[in-house]
Structure 1
Amino acid sequence: MGAELEIAPGEDGLWVATLTLPELAAGTYRVEASLGPIPGQMAHLFVPLQDRKPTYLTDTGTILVDGEPFFPIGLYHVSASHYPMLADAGFNCVQGVGPQDLEQLGATLDACAENGLMMDAPLYAGGLVAANLADSLAGIEAYRDHPAVMCWKIIDEPDIRPEITDEVPDVYIALKEADPDHPIELTLCQPPGFEYWADFCDIMQVDPYPIPRQPLTMVSDWLDTAMAGLEPWQNLTAVLQSGWIPNPMNQPTPEQARSMVYLSLIHGAKGIFWYSFRDPGWELENTPLWAAFPAMNAELKELSMPVMVGEADGRVSVTSEGDVVHWRAWEYDGRTWLLMTNPLEEPITATVDPGGICSVCDMHGEGLEEIDGTFEVALPAFGSETRLLTRR
């Protein structure tokens, strides 16, 4: 294949071998090294695809459904019998079923469509990747044109599944060849590896679960790490915890949940999923957080357009003691949308400099006032606020 090997003496009596390879096609390669009769070592070399943006992602990482921007607000571990309940609560996406039973997959996709939901289709039954490829390709062949398909998911958390780690790159290539339109997804849980896995997905989900032991800024830290390794066209979706353990309950309060949503949007997410709706002994609709979802999802839907298609407004700045407040501003539809959240359990005041004379109000048009200079926003513990700025 035209490879060249150069061996040179190094430090401490060691020798350094440098292997130079020609340009390789995308795929997985095995490199073995041995010296005389001494058993050698093997490594895998992964060459990622080039020009791999799928049709249904924009150049800025927004998912497209029917040609329009789509912000998934989804739930894990949901059955079709609960789809009407989810739709009523403002969800628009679910983790669906796999292609091992094509008839069931088709029926579940139909149920999604009937309830105005899109499906994140999992391909990893039994935690398998390569062993599921034939079924995955059959599912894609049968349903890639179904209107409820949002994406195909290779595997959940391959970064802690060493038995399938080396299978993901080739399966990613095979899935993209079968469906160049829909995005291919991974969910990840180990931030040091986010950049590596970015080569083998179009949608990257990350699942920071800070409650009860970590600060809420675990969410922003993970999203910042993920964003640093993604191409502009790749979608970043945050998987946030709605809880799954009943005792002691690991569910955030409504204020904490809303702050995590704001942290996600401010730090680059263009999709939100929640984990989970069902787990052993767990029924989300019978927990305290469930009642907060309709209002929270309605707010998220309204904020999603500025987040997906707005332009950064560099005229705005926000300061707070210790720079505690997280914020971001977008220009959209003739106004500046300023999102702010306080991820701590102590109240704090944010000072906003809009960068010019403007009128300011909240998302409901209330509190309208003319501002020539700075203004303050009081943020309670885990408080989140949006201000709309209209410039003169």
Structure 2
Amino acid sequence: MQWLHPVLETQPERPLMRNLLDDLILVALLLVSLNAAQAGERGERIECNTNTVFLLQVDAAKNTFCDRTGRFTLSVSGGTVITDEQWGACLKLGDGDKTGITVKDDGKISFDGGMTLDAWVYLEELPPAKGAALALKVGSFSWDIVKGKLNTAWMVFPSEEIFTTTPAQFKYYPVGGDMINGLMHVPLKKWVRLTMAYDEPLGLITTRIGGMTDRQRYRYRGPQRLQCDGHSAITLLQGFKNCRVGALRLNTGRPHLAAPSLEVYLNQLPFQDRMMLTFDHIDPELPLPIEVTVVWEKASGEAATLHTLTLDSHAKKDVLFELPTWKNSLHTIMVNATAEGRAVFSKNFRIANVKPVGPVTIGEDRALVKNGKKFFPLMVYHAMPEDFPVLAELGFNVLLNNFNLRQHAGRDEAAYSALLTQSLDAAQKNHLLLWVVANSDYNSLFTIPVAKAHPALLGWYGADEPWGDLTRLVESYNTIKMLEPNKPIFVVQNNYSRLQETAMGADIVGVDPYPVPNVSLRMVVDATRAAIRAVSGRKPVWTILPQYETKIPTRTELRCMAWLAIISGADGVGFFDWDERLRNPQTGTMKGWYTKEHPEQVEDLRAVLKELRALEHVLLAPAAARQPTLTPANLAVHAVVRETGGKRYLLIASDSRRAEEITVQLEDAANGEARCLADGVNHTHLRIQNGALRIKLPPLGVAVYQLTMD
């Protein structure tokens, strides 16, 4: 080992005590250096930079809490300047009813490129559950601490104006505000730095506690400018009691919290005998080219380089790979990336390398196939076998009834298995296919041997609206595939910023936008398209629509939502739900929403499903390579041309609650006829002149046309 330390060989030996003394001095110097570094983030040593909007600290000379940039005048309520043993001069917010710091904007603030808000605070107690805000700017953002966790309550990005017909309906879309609940608890009775940031080029929201990342989310709508109302003040630590404030700093521009990097997602595509690596969220400051090495490690530990590639753009990129030939085992895919010789990404992915065989498959066009025949899934949630005949008669062909079985069997696996077998038998009798719940998270794997050989089994319902650490979805996916590789796994997600993570643990991805009664139906389009982007169009996407006690759509709304989902690219449509009654364990009585007891809703379902089933050949037709343009531009109107067997169809729908008129310009400038197959009214045919047709859509109107040219 001499070659490791050639310099040490030339130095004379030193006495043991001298070595110990030198080591103690070295440790002391390191501690001084560390304390100096920590102090550099405290007191007056926290400095401004070119991106600093304000830096609020105590001015020792004036003994006041003020903005060191001199741009803003503060208003402090319930606070006094004190001397803290660790920090030095700081602001102490007392225990009065009104505490906080207000900074007037007056049009001086812009969030161009993003923003970072840092708060160096010492909390003696948690803020009140209501009425407190860590950082609030109406029209921009709100962060709070609730139950000890740092939460992104909402952030405001560009919205679209919506026409409404009732006072309760939102006049804008989207609605929701990118809420992100915190993970770690904010420490009490110690100084801590809380960081809240938005990186515009990446559309990335980040919170940190003491320098450690707490939450990080990429917005599903992508990079957009954080809005800023110049008339709105920034309120800080509103309602916080017995809190010491060392400094508050707001910077604009990119946060630069970490070195430039990227994200990689691995999607298993077993029904295509492939896998897909998606390189996304590539930091625009990451030097190009980016060199990527993909290593495949077998279950035995033997490894080989599977592929190398060069990324010469910051744009999202998908790369498809044929799955290794060694099947029915767990493999590891290692992805490493460098830029300018520096490692910028490294992650290992576990995959279940299986080859499905059997009656249920997923085609290259994402269509579901049973016994060699494509079908368009129309799914319903929650029903017991006695209702299967009426559900089949209404037009449903897929269902999930785990909720109902649990009402009767509870956690008794034997009782549940018996009821599951009865459900599968009843589904087969009524030509229905059943999703069966299976996952490793809750040890719900006992259903697999019960159901896997039954002809009425469609596949495995892996998770419903999962949150938290979503790597467990991939673990569960791989476990199920090892036990039963032949059926697809379906996962539904309602947090659209996490669709890319969710998709890695599913063969079919579902979204469940529930806009009625007061949110624009555009939510259906938004959610469906977000899921398709998340899987790069390689996995089926199903859209689940509301139809239950607190969210009962009109027939017009129900029909419009279904067609909006289909026009946006949904490969299946579901309806939640049929029977959500809870069973009283003492009396056995059932209480809750039961669609069968509401004839009007039953007939609404019948009408909508009848139309969809009659046009199944249109629903299964792939989108044409050439799509029409709509003039004038109208965000409320959505259209797609589908093409199959030499026939073309135009599907068009409006999410507007007022009548809309639009010109649809087809790619070929020819004359012809648009023969109406469905418009909800009287099947009015339209003439095509020079490739254009003018369409008048009623509120929430939908129309389907077959296009024929002269």
Instruction: Please state if 1:186 is matched with 2:491.
Output: yes
1:136-215 correspondence runs (5 A): 136-139=447-450, 143-159=451-467, 162=468, 165-215=470-520
Instruction: Please state if 1:372 is matched with 2:689.
Output: yes
- What residue in structure 1 maps to residue 535 of structure 2? 230
- What residue in structure 2 maps to residue 345 of structure 1? 657
Instruction: Please state if 1:80 is matched with 2:394.
Output: no
Deviation at 1:103, TM superposition (A): 3.0
Q: 1:167 to 1:371 in 2, by over 3 A?
A: closer
How far apart in 2 are the matches of 1:51 and 1:329? 37
* CA offset digits 1:342-381 (Å, max 9, x no partner): 1011111121223322222111695445533322221111
- What residue in structure 1 maps to residue 568 of structure 2? 267
- What residue in structure 2 maps to residue 391 of structure 1? 709
- What residue in structure 1 maps to residue 436 of structure 2? 121
Counterpart of 2:449, as a letter, is: A
For the residue of structure 1 that corresponds to 2:704, the secondary structure is: strand
Contact kept? 2:332, 2:349, Cα under 8 Å: yes
Structure 2 gaps of 5+ residues are 1-36, 39-210, 212-257, 262-292, 299-329, 334-346, 406-412, 582-591
Work out which of the residue numbers 316, 325, 337 in structure 1 matches 2:628.
316
What TM-score does the superposition give when structure 1 sets the normalisation length?
Answer: 0.80
Bigger Cα displacement from structure 2, 148-157 vs 356-365: 356-365
Which structure is higher in RCO with an 8 Å CA cutoff and minimum separation 6? 1
Bigger Cα displacement from structure 2, 256-265 vs 276-285: 276-285
Work out which of the residue numbers 255, 268, 271 in structure 1 matches 2:556.
255
For the residue of structure 2 that corresponds to 1:363, the secondary structure is: strand
* CA offset digits 1:302-359 (Å, max 9, x no partner): 3333333434151533334534211111012332111111101111112122332222
For the residue of structure 1 that corresponds to 2:362, the secondary structure is: coil
For the residue of structure 2 that corresponds to 1:277, the secondary structure is: coil
Contact kept? 1:62, 1:308, Cα under 8 Å: yes
Deviation at 1:172, TM superposition (A): 0.6
Contact kept? 2:564, 2:653, Cα under 8 Å: yes
- What residue in structure 2 maps to residue 381 of structure 1? 699
How far apart in 2 are the matches of 1:189 and 1:315? 29
Work out which of the residue numbers 108, 114, 128 in structure 1 matches 2:423.
108
Instruction: Please state if 1:358 is matched with 2:672.
Output: yes
For the residue of structure 1 that corresponds to 2:389, the secondary structure is: helix
How far apart in 2 are the matches of 1:201 and 1:48? 14
Contact kept? 2:461, 2:490, Cα under 8 Å: yes
Contact kept? 1:157, 1:189, Cα under 8 Å: yes
- Flag the structure with larger Rg: 2
Instruction: Please state if 1:63 is matched with 2:368.
Output: yes
How far apart in 1 are the matches of 2:381 and 2:560? 20
How far apart in 2 are the matches of 1:320 and 1:286? 45
Work out which of the residue numbers 603, 617, 626 in structure 2 matches 1:305.
617
Identity of aligned residues (%): 23
- What residue in structure 1 maps to residue 351 of structure 2? 49
For the residue of structure 2 that corresponds to 1:218, the secondary structure is: helix
Q: 1:318 to 1:145 in 2, by over 3 A?
A: farther
Deviation at 1:23, TM superposition (A): 5.0
Name whichever structure is richer in strand by fraction: 2
1:19-34 correspondence runs (5 A): none
How far apart in 2 are the matches of 1:52 and 1:191? 28
Counterpart of 1:298, as a letter, is: K
How far apart in 2 are the matches of 1:319 and 1:359? 19
Counterpart of 2:381, as a letter, is: Y
- What residue in structure 2 maps to residue 38 of structure 1? none
Deviation at 1:259, TM superposition (A): 1.0
Q: 1:282 to 1:379 in 2, by over 3 A?
A: same
Deviation at 1:158, TM superposition (A): 1.2
- What residue in structure 2 maps to residue 284 of structure 1? 595
For the residue of structure 1 that corresponds to 2:491, the secondary structure is: strand
How far apart in 1 are the matches of 2:521 and 2:394? 24
Counterpart of 1:359, as a letter, is: E
Deviation at 1:145, TM superposition (A): 3.0
Q: 1:171 to 1:46 in 2, by over 3 A?
A: farther
How far apart in 2 are the matches of 1:333 and 1:92? 25
Deviation at 1:71, TM superposition (A): 1.3
Contact kept? 1:154, 1:172, Cα under 8 Å: yes
Q: 1:189 to 1:311 in 2, by over 3 A?
A: closer
Contact kept? 1:130, 1:167, Cα under 8 Å: no
Name whichever structure is richer in helix by fraction: 1
Contact kept? 1:48, 1:200, Cα under 8 Å: no
How far apart in 2 are the matches of 1:357 and 1:51? 52
How far apart in 1 are the matches of 2:521 and 2:354? 34
Work out which of the residue numbers 521, 527, 541 in structure 2 matches 1:216.
521
Contact kept? 2:438, 2:444, Cα under 8 Å: yes
Contact kept? 2:297, 2:332, Cα under 8 Å: no
Deviation at 1:50, TM superposition (A): 7.2
Q: 1:96 to 1:46 in 2, by over 3 A?
A: farther
Q: 1:177 to 1:233 in 2, by over 3 A?
A: farther
Q: 1:183 to 1:104 in 2, by over 3 A?
A: same
Contact kept? 1:27, 1:173, Cα under 8 Å: no
- What residue in structure 2 maps to residue 36 of structure 1? none
